[in-house]
Amino acid sequence: MINYSDYNAYIMQNNDFIGMLKDNKTILYERVFEIKTILDYLSEIAAKGNKLQEEMHVIFEVGFSYLHEQLEEIKLYYDIYFKKNVNQLKKYDKFINYSLYLSDLKDTLIDKAIYGQKTKTTFEKIANKIDKILKGLKKADDEIFDEFNIMLEECVPVGTLTTLEVFALVSEELNI
């Protein structure tokens, strides 16, 4: 059974933070919006007492866990790297987003048992570059993302879907 009360409590607890991400038009809000929309939809159905297929329970559980992980990671960046300065967060949100994407992709590859040494080394290089940019609050051009993508293309099979990409498909399937 979907524990919508835990989910709703978590959302209420983080409502100001989510609102801050939205109000400041950060790419990080876009990252969590689709997952939150699906969870809100499923939570609402469960709250009304309607039965959901087992598949929807799994989607909810995975989605809630994923949303929690993503928001907590974003909060760490906001608190530790940017000392709760939303302007700094917004300035570097693309790098945080890419770091979250990289983590998501790594988890996907590990689950598929295709995360080898070459991939690990590539991921570490990218993560280290991002970390240096964020820690030093250094200016970096968007072209660095092209560099990152080229590095990933050499070690990640085409068609590998991250959790976020799978949830985009779920959203499409549910028409929400």
**pLDDT tens string 34-83:** 999 999 999 999 888 888 889 999 999 999 999 999 999 999 999 999 99
Q: Would you tell me how many other CB atoms lie within 10 Å of the CB of residue 17?
A: 13
**How many distinct structural domains can be found in the chain?**
1
- Residue 99 CA to residue 87 CA, distance in Å, equals 19
In Å, how far are 36, 63, 87, 164 from 66, measured between CA atoms?
10, 5, 25, 9
Task: Give me the pLDDT at residue 148, please.
Answer: 98
Residue pair 86/141 in contact by the 8 Å Cβ criterion: no
**pLDDT tens string 113-142:** 999 999 999 999 999 999 999 998 777 888
- What's the predicted TM-score (pTM) here? 0.92
**pLDDT tens string 147-162:** 999 999 999 999 999 9
Task: Give me the pLDDT at residue 1, please.
Answer: 59
Please compute the mean of the pLDDT values over residues 84-113 and round it to a whole number: 96
For residue 155, give the nearest of 120, 126, 129 by alpha carbon: 120
- Residue 135 CA to residue 69 CA, distance in Å, equals 21
- Determine the structural domain holding residue 165 and report its residue range: 4-174
Residue pair 160/108 in contact by the 8 Å Cβ criterion: yes
